Structure 1
């Protein structure tokens, strides 16, 4: 990991990882002014014990009722924004100096909604991503001694990790989840081993809080980490780009592909029924369009999780 990987804009995490969905539960309580309308909500990295990037503008984003005014306060600084027609809002805090002092990040609306994140520090924020080598936890690696030392320390070592929940999506998602939110050093054994070793060395050198934003997914091929544009603009990858478009319900390619598929399916049913009635075997079933056919398991059925 090198300096160029440092991110000041945590929103890059949401788009780069191409994973996950919705908002964190560990974040503090949300007070609703009206249960029938959209409640104030923060982007998932903004929860208790978060670390913000020092020495550059810090974006804070989330969702609220369309048109509502949102105020974000950290220390003596307050920034405001209005939620757009989709309910999205975003402010930028002025550059902050590194600080070991825990502060509150408070977000409010005139309707009385309020979200407060406690224990917020300012320092270095780095993005750690990749496959199983980055996902391997410190407690099960050669970093276990370091993790144990940090966990037993009487000092509150300001090294923390935010671990995005594992997931997948054809396209970048606005929301991610993290079951544990920002973990402190007393949970170092569950940190990524590589990111913990890096963060510890960085902390020893800089003596400022170190935050790791971790997004990992083991056993994934490079294609799954490639944005759609990477296929669409490469002459030899047009077939993959086309198959992705066929699987995107918002495209004409998808509409045409599925209409064709269902017409073929109807014809297959009629022809197979005739053959079976005569004692024969059914014809091969038409394949689903796009990459959808790849999602079927050995039993030629869909495998997925229903939440």
Structure 2
């Protein structure tokens, strides 16, 4: 119990980073996707990847915001990211994005499942009627990963280290959940009776991100897939945009770190040579291998989640 508490405290108030973007190797001839790459940690991640010569698809739903981010990144790096239209809250859009990417590319070295929604109302739903936070953070990313797995596996077979990576953004908030509750995740009479707070489904989504990542690692590790999950840290990003103004002010003023630090953990998982050996591991701020809650190690829950997710995307 004591070691778990110390681990959580270390996630919340991490030491100074020992790994920085200067440690990223040359990424020339590498192809990567960053979901939510137009803002926050995602944009900072795209910036670092471009600076190290990767070909980067910036996946975002809003064309204006995506193009604004691409222009800003061009001014800072001298290089262009490529907009990939993706709305994770609409499974048909996810399918369209995967098809568009595969029309353009036969290679995908790293998929950063970075995008996220936090603070949505409990009544907010995705296009297919799922809780907006769980549907975006978990189901949308699951479907995108599933559709791109053939490309990732093909890339792994041709790469020098025999690996392709999927990096899944979770949160220290996952510690607040011990078990899945599928009655929360999809609109139904049972869900409407619960009248839960939106915070509950956000924490569930972050718990599920780790379960998904672990199950992906188990199922596809022998085919060259390296699946990691991570807590990026309490970072000042646009994800707080839907929170009440006073709550947002307090969090951003007293609890949050610069976005540059927040990108480090997923950048190490996705780009470092040692990251290729991190299949199934969980990383914590800043770019350290850590330990998630014991509940995330429950393989039965991971399998149950995977099977549920598979059912939801049938026929899309």
**TM-score normalised by L of structure 1:** 0.23
- The structure with the largest helix share of the pair is 2
- The structure with the largest strand share of the pair is 1
Mark the structure with the bigger radius of gyration: 1
**TM-score normalised by L of structure 2:** 0.22
